[in-house]
Chain A
């Protein structure tokens, strides 16, 4: 906490409490203690006072208690020698400021000085009594409910309380337009040397009022209290709280009302004090002048006070600067913006995902056999990118002849408070689905084997390289808004830049591979569950660890981790491992407890690394089946794509009936094919060396990976020693084959 702010806030609070005291006493002297006080059409009395103290104030006399309470909240300004954490005192003085401010406005209401008279101000939609020429004053209950519903259901992301006067009229208008564009409600109050943002907007002919979501409260700082009165009533109305439950009210606002304060122009003591009041609600303050910053401490999950001196903001014009300021404010408060449409010239939707573009219909391709294309998504610092910026570096494809090919690299940079480097590959892989959703565009592959085709039809409609960036931007926000705040895309076709970034991307792919290889079960605290398949296999739970992916192959540990961030109530929940019960078989207290609780108490023990003892259940989606062949002292692996007979005397589809349905059947289990390459693959039974038979298509698709496994197992020729449907479809054929090849399983200890 900055001592400077603490001192200023306490000074400001002391001054306003005294002012409230004097105004109140004068009003009581003039009008009597019984004189009624009320804000416009509200059932919540003086709402901030009601929220903080539970007092239902309806006459002037009752306000004396409030002022007395304010005084107890005031503290001595911190001395010059002592350094203490001042946050508590500052927040208290913030609270005193709010109560005093509301007291003052109440007195002004009684005297007919509120809502404030502003000549020439014509609001479109207002609850201010007295017709044109007045600021709005407090928002009435009807409007509160109408907007409150939108704030609660997410149609309106939040509100911005702007206090002061913008650098220029141009800046003022841009600030407002940028906020409006995002559906953010705008409250206006305050001035700098007598000039208010309300004046600026009035001069520029910006329509204000309920209908345009811009509410001018008044031209002094004190009227900003109406914003907090609104916030307080939201909690009372939608949070089911009652007056006096201030802790709950403040928490409600912190977690559910995405609001922030923009302090424009010089910040005086009163503004510091009012800012401290806003921080109580978890609303951060972003100032366009040089002031001390307050970084995260626990009251808000983010910076409390951010200084963004207007002159230092990047940008050539006030418009540019104002735009960046809004962007920053939104990031600080974590306001989430929804993008629903993908702004491209061709139809977009999952219906187009399966589309294939034939060579004859193709305008141009990137990647494939004649050129190279890559996609590289990386996490960057939020300050280094601009959301929605899409750049193409190098020529487009107009010079390429019909049906030709071109090198292209797409670099997607994302930033977000909840983003983690681990999520890079998860998001990057989504590009396949995202790009495929565009009609007339085909996407295959990933990383540096990406292959994208544009059809003639799509290009005729105006589809260009830049649109790939539009798709990435819109879809990442829409699908991964929980972890992504900003997306910037750069597309490289310039030969030199392309090579430069391809090299960078390849280095990153390599690093990821290394990281993934180092990601092992014993190094993580938590595994993840997947219960997506319970709709048809109610007792099945996939326990997904770094070394064992989900049995459908679609979810690995990182995917689940990201999915949990995105959807904390979804099918992927963290499973804390807890105490290890059996390290060889892969049994933990945590995974057992989770599976028991989520399998309708049907399964109480699961070994992640064993096929013989309590193997994982299977739903039916498994990519491969692993099954014991006792005669061969090993197991066979049958692929879902393999229709042939197996040495077990059954085909895949018959076997699937035995293994599926959420049952635990020792000797047979379903797995994702990449589990075969894991060091933990049936580790309890001796690992990959147990594989005596494997569908030939698996050997082919995973040739490289399997080769590495064979080397790791110290038997480089191992894969050739494994039979497949071409060499054996019965046990009688299998055994001589294994004998002849000298398969290691034959001499291993008995598997049963």
Chain B
């Protein structure tokens, strides 16, 4: 019996987006594939999924002790932290300006500028800069960050349906990339991409974050949303062809399994191993449904995920 031909020929292609320019020692391109993840026999997988390590401008008080153990002192200094992250194999630094949150320090535009400058100087990698997730403060510090990093082609986020205009305007004025974040829904993701695109920012400067849950906390739901996004994009829907970034570390380290070892059943096994695997597993799952950029927290999960990606890319 003849083996049936299973290759698909897709009409669409994922947009390639490059992070980093100017003084960055390297640039990172993501997206650009013409097939589903790692189906090298079927199309091109132009770029391997990239790994960003999350660095906060404020020593996190709600992070797992395991993360504190892993990073040690550098957690008090975003510049040192970024430098160490580069050393440990990050492709991109995801700097979170968390201290700008009204309840976590309420720092302002000037502080943001200084932090961004310091981190740019401490690492040669491209940057993502996240606001604290509060509308007014996001606008304040992301505008400052975008201006400070003019010429460096950083990504700023999150631009969300309720608050995207200022962030996109800042990206427009300073030639940066925006991250469009939507709450696990294909149509909302699409709508946001359209709205952002309508402001006149070119498609090679939009990354989408369709939002994920961690393993055991809804990752299967995000998996299927992303799968639908990707199928639609490859099917030719130009409004969904942006590469996808996911804040895996944030999600994975919120789970009970990763966060704590208090009063957990014995069969759960070694805490550190469990927590790292939790993050790595979530990441590898998502890479298989089209994630192009993963924001991670633990150095060991970074290593695990990198190894997995190496293997998945082997056929390229």
Contact = CB atoms under 8 A, between A and B. Distances in A.
A237 B200 contact: no
Contacts of B165: 152-154
Given A538-B186, A538-B228, A600-B231, A237 B166 contact: no
Interface in B134-184: 139, 143, 147, 165-166, 168-170, 172-173
Contact of A535 (B166, B187, B198, B202): B187
Interface residues of A, number: 24
Contacts of B200: 238-240, 252, 256
B172 A531 contact: no
Contacts of A600: 228, 231-232
Contact of B169 (A153, A252, A570, A601): A153
A569 B194 contact: yes
Interface in B65-81: none
Nearest to A153: B165
Interface in B235-268: 235
A149 B142 CA distance: 12
B316 interface: no
A148 B168 CA distance: 12
Contacts of A154: 165
A571 B187 contact: yes
A252 B199 CA distance: 10
B195 interface: yes
B173 A534 contact: no
Nearest to B175: A240
Given A145-B147, A240-B200, A600-B228, A569 B173 contact: no
Contacts of B228: 538, 600
B25 to A, nearest CB: 26
A153 B136 CA distance: 13
B186 A569 contact: no
Interface in A233-277: 237-240, 252, 256
B187 A149 contact: no
A145 B174 CA distance: 9
Contacts of A239: 172, 200
Nearest to B139: A153
A601 B231 CA distance: 10
B47 interface: no
A149 B170 contact: yes
B107 interface: no
A145 B173 contact: yes
B185 interface: yes
Contacts of A538: 186, 228
Given A149-B143, A569-B195, A600-B232, A531 B187 contact: yes
A152 B199 contact: yes
Nearest to A533: B187
A538 B185 CA distance: 9
Interface string A521-536: 0000000000110110
Contacts of B201: 240
B191 interface: yes
Given A252-B200, A535-B187, A538-B186, A240 B172 contact: yes
Contacts of A238: 169, 172-173, 200
A149 B166 contact: yes
Contacts, number: 56
B185 to A, nearest CB: 5
Contacts of A532: 187
A534 B166 contact: no
A240 B186 CA distance: 29
Given A153-B166, A252-B200, A569-B195, A535 B173 contact: no
Interface in A528-576: 531-532, 534-535, 538, 569-571
A224 B185 CA distance: 48
B291 to A, nearest CB: 20
A208 to B, nearest CB: 26
Contacts of A148: 169, 173
Contact of B187 (A145, A252, A256, A534): A534
Contacts of B186: 534, 538
Interface in B102-121: none
Interface string A592-623: 00000000110000000000000000000000
A603 to B, nearest CB: 15
A237 B147 CA distance: 12
B191 A240 contact: no
A161 to B, nearest CB: 22
Contacts of A152: 165, 168-169, 172, 199
Given A534-B186, A600-B231, A149 B191 contact: no
A426 to B, nearest CB: 21
Nearest to A146: B143
A206 B202 CA distance: 42
A238 B165 CA distance: 12
A149 B194 contact: no
A535 B169 contact: no
Contacts of A237: 172-173
Interface string A458-470: 0000000000000
Nearest to B198: A569
Given A149-B143, A149-B169, A149-B170, A240 B185 contact: no
B235 A601 contact: yes
Contacts of B169: 148-149, 152-153, 238
Contacts of B172: 152, 237-240
A601 B237 CA distance: 12
Contacts of A145: 147, 173
A154 B228 CA distance: 33
Interface string A201-227: 000000000000000000000000000
Interface of B: 139, 143, 147, 165-166, 168-170, 172-173, 185-188, 191, 194-195, 198-202, 228, 231-232, 235
Given A153-B168, A600-B228, 7 more contacts: A148-B173, A152-B169, A155-B166, A239-B200, A532-B187, A538-B228, A569-B191
24 contacts: A145-B173, A149-B143, A149-B170, A152-B165, A152-B168, A152-B172, A154-B165, A155-B166, A237-B172, A237-B173, A238-B172, A239-B172, A239-B200, A240-B202, A532-B187, A534-B185, A534-B187, A535-B187, A535-B188, A569-B194, A569-B195, A570-B191, A600-B232, A601-B235
Closest 7 CB pairs of A and B: A153-B165, A152-B169, A153-B166, A149-B169, A569-B194, A238-B172, A535-B185
